[in-house]
Structures are given as structure tokens and as C-alpha cells.
A and B are shown apart, each in its own frame.
Chain A
Amino acid sequence: MINPAWALVFALVAPVAGGLVAGIDRKITAHMQGRVGPSIFQPFYDVGKLFEKEQAVVNETQTFYAICYLVFMIFTGALFFAGGDLLLVIFALTLAQIFLVLGAFAANSPYSYVGAERELLQILAYEPMVILTAVGMFVATKSFNVSDIATSASPVILLLPGIFLGFLYVLTIKLRKSPFDISTSHHAHQEIVKGVTTEFSGPSLGLIEVTHWYEVVLLLGFVYLFFGFSPLIAALAVAVVYILEILVDNTNARVRWQLAVRSSWLIAAVVGLVNLAGLYVLSGGI
């Protein structure tokens, strides 16, 4: 059931794929704003540059937390792509995120603190919907194992349209896109001075960037699960979802954290639970 080869493939290929996605994202964003934009390899140049810089840390444990963030993100993604348990994947993802928060709290800096607190609020905002996604997957395919869900013949998207919409809503938070780029953002470089990443510089900032690439690939893997019955449609859906996220990113202003938390909980409660209840009634119980 667990296929270690896929875990290895994820660990090696995901940073390349994630970096390219980030580069294409910047190019499309630039074109949407009427600019030429950097090369699609720019994220690799950026991270390469960060590793050439001096390691200036406020607190020694910061680097440890940044490494933990990367290690647990690789673990999460490897478990997902190897076909492991979806619930374990979600909890490992939260653990990885908590290490980023700890890293931000490790430095005694007001900007870093605000960023860490906002990161915690983001976790609070998206977590219910992500767990509902796993529950929905179980109801639709009778399994929590990613290997079973991905190869399931049942059209998950048709059974879980509400949960899919809810997941797209919190995906904006996870991808750090406007209107929910509350803790840190790819565009607003001066706003709350980059939030959680304020006190990270040089190589440790590079680690956080690479971790984000892993995370993006993992999240797009979640989108794939909804279309597991047809790999072609799934690949197309992943591309459409990401372009939609870029469009939303470029056409929305940031909202306050109160609205982010309330609205994502409301969406989870309404579309997620209604979808689950409907599925429950239709299938005559689990």
C-alpha cells in the first residue's frame, strides 16, 4: 500500500516542480499587471542567492526550527505521495507549520511575533476545512489511504462538489495568496515587514522558500485527489485551479484576519457539512 519509491520521487522532484510553479506564477502575475516579469527560473536564482548570503541569526534555535519545518514538510509530502493515511498527512502538515510559527516566536521581535500570531490564526482558519476534506474523501471512497483515494473509480468531485469549493477557499490561505496572505506574502514586501519570515535571513530564509515549494506540490496533490478517476482531467484541473488562484491573488485586496477566520469557518460549516450530510443521506449511512 505504501510505496516508498513515490516518497523518494516526491523528495527529489517536488522542489524542482514547486520552484517552476512559483516561477510561472510570477511570470503570469507580471503579465496580468502589464509587466514583462522575471525569468521562470527566478525562484531558483533567489534561493541560490539566499544560500550564498551570510547566516545572520537572532537566536540559534531559529535555524533548527527552519530545518524542522523543511523535514516535516518533506515527511508530509512523502507520506502523501507514497499513498499513506490522509489524516496522518494532515496532522503532519500542521506539525510542520507549527515549526515555522515556533521559528518566528524564537526571535524577540514585534514583527516576527505579529507574523507568528497571524500564522496561527491562518492554521485556525483552514484546519476545519482540511479535516472535512479528509472526512469527505472517506465517505466518498470508503478509505483514508491516499493510494486508494487516488485510484478510486468513483468520481469524487461529483460526490464532493461543496467540499471541493470549500477546499479551494482555504487553498488560497495555504498558498499565501491575496486576499488571505495574512502572515506573509509573496508580493507585499513592506507589509508588517514580511510577517513570519522577518527574522529569517540568508540560508534559513532559503530553507523556508524551498519548504513552500514542497507545500505547493503537496496541496496541488490534494486537488488531484478530487479527480483521481481520470489522470488527464486531474492534471487539467490542477492547472486551472492554480491559474484561478493567481487570478484571485491579483484581483483582491488583503482582508482582515477576523474575516479570514470567520469566512473560512462559515464556508467549512455550510458547504462542507451540507455536502457531507447530503452524501450521508444519499448513501444511506456510512
Chain B
Amino acid sequence: MTYLAKSPWIIHYDASSCNGCDIEILACLTPMYDVERFGIINTGNPKHADIFVVTGSVNEHNREVILNIYNQMPDPKVVVAVGICATSGGVFRECYNVAGGIDKLIPVDVYVMGCAARPESIIDGIVTALGILEEKRSKNIHSAPVTDHHENKEHNNHSQGGAS
């Protein structure tokens, strides 16, 4: 008997999203969709969470935050990338300040498509994540802490007096 799939607590982080997907995630909590009936709770604390729901793409400002949240979550944990920006960078993928989808930084388990992702597809994504969560628990998979190998060249250059 497992309880993990009956009580998934999520932590939601908006990584440079336009807020479209975030509003759809919050729509899931309203009486219309009421995901709490499946035991899903939107926590604000990575240490209490099982599912990391990220919207938007990785950039220089949020990569540290994403890593911090991911590394603080206790195992078993899964990552759900919601929306096309979190999946691949979307229309912003070639911007100079965008590194790409969330999987450039941390391992992503479920990709939810859409711009913005619809509440139905977000719920579907979370339910898919529950299966992966349960698999990780039964196989006792421990996610190793992720460290950022990205060197902050621009910043170093600034400190040395401009671009090289």
C-alpha cells in the first residue's frame, strides 16, 4: 500500500514565465477543477513538496533558484515542466538571455505542452508524474544533487572591466 500517489504536494516556481501558465496552475486549485480532491496541495516549501512544477525557461537570474529548490526537496521527487517555455524555451529559445528549457539544468520527468498549458493538461501531467513518483519510490531511486557547471563568464568579465 502506497500513500505517495494519494498525497502529492507540489511546489510551483515561476522561472521567467509570462504568468500565463502560472494562472492556469492556480486555476487548477479553484472550485472549478479543485485538485485538492486528489490530495494535491500547493505548498510553498520545497522541503514539504514531492512534485516540482516549473513554468518558464532558465535564465541567469533563476538558475540558482531552480537548483536550490530542486536540491532541497527530499526524495522521492519528480519535476514537471509546464508550458512550452519550460519544455524547450518556446518562442524565447533564441533570446540572448534564455538558456532554454528546464531540462538544461535539472532532470525533467514530465513535459506539459501548451501556451498557455490548459488546466486539464496540467492535471494530466501531474497524474502522469504520480506514476513516475511511485516508480521512483518502489525502485528506491535517489536523485543526486545537481550542481551548476555553467560559468558566469559575463559577470567575471564585468568585474575585470568589460567583455573579452
Cβ-defined contact, B48 with A205, below 8 A: yes
Check A30–B6 contact: CB distance below 8 A. Answer: no
| B42 and A49 within 8 A (CB) | no
| Interface presence of A190 (CB below 8 A) | yes
- Number of B interface residues in the complex (CB < 8 A): 26
Closest to A109 in B: B47
Binds A, one of B29-37, B54-62, B108-116, B117-125: B29-37
For window 180-227 of A, CB contacts with B under 8 Å fall at 189-191, 193-194, 197-202, 205
CB neighbours (8 Å) of A179 from chain B are none
For the complex formed, measure the closest distance between the CB of B65 and the CB atoms of chain A, giving whole angstroms.
14
Chain A's interface size range is 20 to 34
The reply to whether the CB of B107 lies closer than 8 angstroms to some CB of chain A is no
The answer to whether A30 and B137 touch across the interface, beta carbons within 8 angstroms, is: no
Residues of B within 8 A of A45 (CB): 3, 6-7, 39
- Whether the Cβ atoms of B44 and A194 lie closer than 8 Å is yes
Q: Does B24 contact A (CB under 8 A)?
A: no
Contacts of A198 in B (CB 8 A): 45, 47
Is A42 part of the binding interface, using a Cβ–Cβ cutoff of 8 Å? Answer: yes
Q: Closest A residue to B12 by CB, please name it.
A: A190
Does A258 touch B at the CB level, under 8 Å?
no
Contact A194 B6 (CB under 8 A): no
- From the candidates B1, B6, B36, B47, name the one contacting A200 in the complex (CB within 8 A): B47
Bound Cα distance from A46 to B41, whole angstroms = 10
Known: A45-B6, A49-B50, A52-B137. A189 touches B41 (CB 8 A): yes
Q: Of A31-39, A170-178, A246-254, which stretch is located at the interface?
A: A31-39
Q: Which residue of B lies closest to A52 (CB)?
A: B4
Q: Does B2 contact A (CB under 8 A)?
A: yes
- Report if A54 contacts B (CB, 8 A): yes
B31 close to A33 (CB less than 8 A): yes
Cβ of A71 < 8 Å from any Cβ of B? no
Chain A residue, CB-CB nearest to B29: A35
Whole-angstrom distance between the Cβ of B36 and the nearest chain A Cβ: 6
Of residues 1 through 21 on chain B, the ones whose CB sits less than 8 Å from some CB of chain A are 1-4, 6-7
With contacts A37-B34, A49-B7 taken as known, whether A189 is within 8 angstroms of B50 at the C-beta atoms is no
Given A53-B74, A56-B72: 8 more A-B contacts, CB < 8 Å: A46-B7, A48-B6, A52-B3, A54-B75, A54-B76, A55-B74, A189-B48, A194-B44
9 examples of A-B residue contacts, CB within 8 angstroms = A30-B34, A37-B34, A38-B36, A49-B3, A51-B3, A52-B2, A54-B75, A54-B142, A190-B43
Q: Which 7 A-B pairs have the closest CB atoms?
A: A48-B3, A190-B44, A201-B47, A45-B6, A49-B7, A54-B74, A49-B3
